[in-house]
Amino acid sequence: MIELRDVAYTYGRGELFAGINLTLAPGSFHFLTGPSGAGKTTFLKLCYGELISTHGTVSLFGKDVRDMTRDDVALSRRRIGVVHQDCQFLDHLPVSENVALPLTASGRHAEIEPNLSDLLGWVGLSGQAAQRPPQLSGGERQRAALARAVITSPDVIIADEPTGNIDWEMSQRLLTLLVELNRMGKAVMVATHDLNLIRAAKAQVQARVLRLKDRQLQAAGADL
């Protein structure tokens, strides 16, 4: 679904990484680790067409991003749910409307009613539907961000440090949700430097652990 071939990226001062090959197939689960500043967020942006590689090719659902128009990219992006590192919300709108926003924005109003309350229940936020985002705890925000990312039923879920600022119990809850999505056949890619989270995941799902280090994407050791 997402394929990277000999990919490199630079913001202009030396390549952050190079020679990267990776295929995100349906039903796959990947973790992306690596020190802060290694390029994890940049790498994820290449995977969802937010950035264009400076070398090599990235294909989204069989099409080279470089040959795609903005509309093509937007259409592909509807099949990819992204949980951003700093999950931002529209603070004046209730949680329910924030979660429904990807459907509202793409004119899919008919899909909101049958999906929204189930989805809020699934992430454990039924009771917070009417609250404003600033009233949510860190873990609740992350779960709301995940709900918003999956309300369009994407084929791929990309999450950037989704457990960055939340406690262990909440992290595990979020992980369980990601594992459930993966069991439904979705490809999941999670950037994290939480090794405990990766260990916990490996008990539940067959996950590949990748590490960005020294400009390369390596398979992480079996010691994890």
Ligand X SMILES: Nc1ncnc2c1ncn2[C@@H]1O[C@H](COP(=O)(O)OP(=O)(O)O)[C@@H](O)[C@H]1O
| b/e map 95-117, b = 16+ CB within 10 Å | bbbbbbbbbeeeeeeebbeebbe
x/- letters, 62..101, toward Mg ion (CB under 5 A): ----------------------------------------
Query: Quick check: 41 binds Mg ion (CB under 5 A)?
Result: yes
Distance CA 173, CA 44 (A): 23
Contact range with Mg ion by CB under 5 A, out of 32-40, 89-97, 135-143, 204-212: 32-40
Q: Which does 168 bind (CB under 5 to 8 A by kind): ligand X, Mg ion, none?
A: none
Parallel/antiparallel/unpaired status of strands 208-213 and 187-191: unpaired
Q: Which does 39 bind (CB under 5 to 8 A by kind): ligand X, Mg ion, none?
A: ligand X
| b/e map 183-202, b = 16+ CB within 10 Å | eeebbbbbbbbbeebbebbe
Tokens of 84: 């951003």
Q: Which does 185 bind (CB under 5 to 8 A by kind): Mg ion, ligand X, none?
A: none
Chain residues 9-38 in contact with ligand X, contact rule CB under 6 A: 11, 16, 34, 36-38
The H or E element that residue 218 is part of is strand 216-219
Q: Which does 209 bind (CB under 5 to 8 A by kind): Mg ion, ligand X, none?
A: none
Query: Quick check: 54 binds Mg ion (CB under 5 A)?
Result: no
**Minimum distance of ligand X from residue 63's CB (angstroms):** 24
C-beta separation of 6 from 57 below 8 A: yes
Residues 6+ away with beta carbon under 8 Å from 107? none
Query: Quick check: 210 binds ligand X (CB under 6 A)?
Result: no
Q: Which does 190 bind (CB under 5 to 8 A by kind): ligand X, Mg ion, none?
A: none
Q: Which of 153, 68, 83, 79 is nearest to 116 (CA)?
A: 153
**Minimum distance of Mg ion from residue 39's CB (angstroms):** 8
Give the single-character DSSP code of 55.
E
Of 10, 15, 41, 57, the one binding ligand X by CB under 6 A = 41
Q: Which residues bind ligand X (CB under 6 A)?
A: 11, 16, 34, 36-42
Residues lying near Mg ion in the complex (CB under 5 A) are found at 40-41
